[in-house]
A and B are shown apart, each in its own frame.
Chain A
Amino acid sequence: MYLYILIGAGALGCAIMAIIAKKLLSSAIWLAGTSALVALLIYLLGAPEVAVIELSVGAGLVTVLFVFAINIAGDEPIKLRAIPPRWLSGILILFAIGLLGYFAVVPLMELGAVDLPVSMDADFRSVLWQERNLDVLLQVLIIFTGVLGMMGLLAEGHKKESHPANEEEKPA
């Protein structure tokens, strides 16, 4: 129980740090921390397969992408005032979270000291490939979008290199 509270608090703290960090790079690192702790929580919930994927993709690959993109786009902290006033955003979010907690957490707490029930369903692979086969196939389409996105991300560096080369060729 206290272990869960500790890890959960850590994940939330990392998320808050990721938002308030001044530099984009440290923001990305804090995000990686959040991701790793969430992966740990998922593992503790009894879902080791997805936990591993989240750890490697969420904490690993995405962080690499962030570092790569920040390198290209530059890491200048912009100090700009938020467009809607901060106090308004804060109140709204508190309201939303409070109501959500009222609806979801309170009934759970009233159950008393229950523990997580033991899972009864089929194993991960058969659920994925038999019950949700169409979704899995459609994921391929999304991944294709990601490939197009990657090409856009890489195209910039490519152009910068080829540009002077073109200029050299022109006079000749």
Chain B
Amino acid sequence: MAATLILLSIGLPWLGALVVWMVGDRHEKIQHALAVAFSLAAGVAAVILLGSAGKETALTIPVGGVFGDFTFVADGLGVFLAVIATVIGSLAVIFSVDYMHGEHQLGRYYAFVLFFIGAMVGLVLTSNLLLMFVFWEITALCSYALIAFHNDDPKAVAGGVKALIITQFGGVGLLLGAVLLVSTTGSYDINALLASPSSIPAGTLAVLAYGFLVAAAAKSAQFPFQTWLPDAMEAPTPISALIHAATMVNAGVYLLARFFPAFKDVPGWTEAVMLVGLVTALMAAIMAVVSNDLKRVLAYSTVSQLGYMVYAVGTGVVFASQFHLLSHSVFKALLFLGAGAVIHSVGTRDMREMGGLGKKMPFTRVVFIIGALALAGLPILNGFWSKELILEAGLKHSPIWMYILMLVGAGITAFYTFRMVWMVFYGKPKAEGHIHDAGKAMKVALAPLALGALTTWLLAGPFSKILGTETLPYHNIHAESTWEILGEVISLPTLVALGVVALGLLAWWQRDKLGGLGKALGWLGKAAAASFGFEAINRGVVKGTQGASNGLSVTQTGLLNWNVLGIVVALVILFAVLALGA
């Protein structure tokens, strides 16, 4: 049963990708319908899979001795992320029906979206490290292709190439880990590593641990790789929602959470993870304050919230990290799709040219504000509960200065969220032309997400059960009821955190009176606008890679004869080495 469901939730999107592509771009309506049908079917399969979650290997595909068996395990962590990828992914597809209406080359668009969703499901469900690497790279390829979807726009192409090159550092880290693992233990099985991390030498384990940290940081746009995600904003907005909420960036946090039991005893690793999360969360929050591009603000907020999740993994409370991932993927998908509705209607992403849109787009305003309040971490919304869980984990398991800085980050989050909502929906109307509310398919996608942002925190109990020791034997998460978890959240530190959030709100309210403070912090704003110099470094890396590729292209003569000559020369050298060696 579980085996069939795993095959369905990976295979349906991939089959859909093939079918939508083969239908051809002349039949747009059929393409829209097919893409929605296949992604929804995959979502249904993944949700049913929740019921048969277990720690045993559910599906084994033997492929001979070299790569190990391709195994899939439907454990709590994997199934939960598979549900997020397919359900949020299918909402993004539904939203696309309106957003991409009348665009050219829909086949390419939907094929890559569905391929992306399927690969993400495979990535989280497989327990073979090599196969995980393959899926990891497929997601990188799809994100590149989708960010650069408008391939006649040089900015979009540059953003896509940047995403591809930067995330490749992650791919290299993961591949290194896989090769090291197989050379020391002779198997690619992840669960064997998690069961007995002491079976491999401490030095090798440390290389693995830090390699995977690099991989996760590159994929989840953490410090110092954080600059690719904002540049990925050139993508069509549903793609941004897909990358930010459903698929791509979750992979890094997933990787850390998955391997946490194996690496937690590596000296300095948990501290390094916490530090990466902390620096990212703060830096990205400050950058969000000075940005005027609606989608960029959201992108920086994603980077910042991912920093919170990474920090939570570092403190050892994997549950808090994954619970925030759940909340985040719901409210961030809501925010992105809401922003998509706004951008679709106004035709610009610059918040300075918006303002006063609330009256003309009442539905969008309501759902967007729900998402924004969840992001800011106001009570009752799901973001509040999960962020408080992370902060409490930080209070208990990390140095106090880290906790305080994370609190400050929460305050800044509240500040830029209110700034964004104000600039878009309130104030003087600046945009001209025909402004219309979200379309029908957009509303269909937005409404369940808004409902989710209001209610997913009620799932805390079942969520802790599915991540519990029954399906994740090495993670030490205890199943508790919703009320127990919520009871833990409501305590004195929470009031402090709420106070900080209120302070953030107050700071935006009284922004005119704080002019002096703003001027004093002007240098910080300037540094933040320049991404604290990391933009330049990352750009240098991208340029260097492209230059090296250009230089190496000399070896690609395009002439068969020379290429075969190279092969024969290599053959002769190989034989000569063998002859000398023997």
Direct contact of A and B (CB under 8 A): yes
Measured CB to CB, the residues of A under 8 A from B are 82-84, 88-89, 92-93, 95-96, 99-100, 102-103, 134
Q: Closest approach, in angstroms, between the C-beta of A65 and any C-beta of chain B? A: 20
26 interchain pairs, CB-CB under 8 A: A82-B561, A83-B559, A83-B561, A84-B561, A84-B562, A84-B565, A88-B565, A89-B565, A92-B565, A92-B568, A92-B569, A93-B568, A95-B572, A96-B568, A96-B571, A96-B572, A96-B575, A99-B572, A99-B575, A99-B576, A99-B579, A100-B575, A102-B579, A103-B575, A103-B578, A134-B63
Considering the complex, give the chain B residue whose CB is closest to the CB of A91.
Answer: B572
- Known contacts A93-B568, A99-B572; 18 additional CB pairs below 8 A are A82-B561, A83-B559, A83-B561, A83-B562, A84-B561, A84-B565, A88-B565, A89-B565, A92-B565, A92-B569, A96-B571, A96-B572, A99-B579, A100-B575, A102-B579, A103-B575, A103-B579, A134-B63
Q: In whole angstroms, what is the CA distance A144 to B238 when docked?
A: 34
Residues in B whose Cβ lies below 8 Å from that of A89: 565
Contact of B572 among A83, A84, A92, A134 (CB under 8 A): A92
Instruction: State the main secondary structure of chain B at its contact with A.
Output: helix
Q: How many residues of B contact A (CB 8 A)?
A: 13
Instruction: State the main secondary structure of chain A at its contact with B.
Output: helix
Considering the complex, give the chain B residue whose CB is closest to the CB of A92.
Answer: B568
Q: Closest approach, in angstroms, between the C-beta of A94 and any C-beta of chain B? A: 10
Residues facing A in B100-156 (CB within 8 A) are none
Considering the complex, give the chain A residue whose CB is closest to the CB of B565.
Answer: A84
Interface centre among B559, B565, B576 (most CB of A within 10 A): B565
Residues in A whose Cβ lies below 8 Å from that of B561: 82-84
Residues in A whose Cβ lies below 8 Å from that of B578: 103
Residues in A whose Cβ lies below 8 Å from that of B575: 96, 99-100, 103
Q: Closest approach, in angstroms, between the C-beta of A76 and any C-beta of chain B? A: 20
Minimum-distance CB pairs A-B, first 8: A99-B575, A83-B561, A95-B572, A92-B568, A84-B565, A96-B572, A96-B571, A84-B561
Q: In whole angstroms, what is the CA distance A134 to B63 when docked?
A: 8
Q: In whole angstroms, what is the CA distance A103 to B576 when docked?
A: 11
Q: In whole angstroms, what is the CA distance A93 to B568 when docked?
A: 7
Residues in B whose Cβ lies below 8 Å from that of A93: 568
Interface centre among A88, A93, A96 (most CB of B within 10 A): A96
Considering the complex, give the chain A residue whose CB is closest to the CB of B582.
Answer: A103
B540-582 interface bits toward A, Cβ cutoff 8 Å, 1 = contact, 0 = none: 0000000000000000000101100100110110011011000
Residues in B whose Cβ lies below 8 Å from that of A134: 63
Q: Closest approach, in angstroms, between the C-beta of A19 and any C-beta of chain B? A: 14
Residues in B whose Cβ lies below 8 Å from that of A84: 561-562, 565
Considering the complex, give the chain A residue whose CB is closest to the CB of B62.
Answer: A134
Considering the complex, give the chain A residue whose CB is closest to the CB of B578.
Answer: A103
Q: Closest approach, in angstroms, between the C-beta of A33 and any C-beta of chain B? A: 24
Residues in A whose Cβ lies below 8 Å from that of B572: 92, 95-96, 99
Residues in B whose Cβ lies below 8 Å from that of A88: 565
Q: In whole angstroms, what is the CA distance A63 to B575 when docked?
A: 35
Q: In whole angstroms, what is the CA distance A96 to B571 when docked?
A: 7
Q: In whole angstroms, what is the CA distance A82 to B565 when docked?
A: 12
Q: Closest approach, in angstroms, between the C-beta of B473 and any C-beta of chain A? A: 31
Residues in B whose Cβ lies below 8 Å from that of A83: 559, 561-562
Interface centre among B572, B575, B576 (most CB of A within 10 A): B572
Residues in A whose Cβ lies below 8 Å from that of B569: 92
Considering the complex, give the chain A residue whose CB is closest to the CB of B571.
Answer: A96
Considering the complex, give the chain A residue whose CB is closest to the CB of B569.
Answer: A92
Q: Closest approach, in angstroms, between the C-beta of B179 and any C-beta of chain A? A: 25
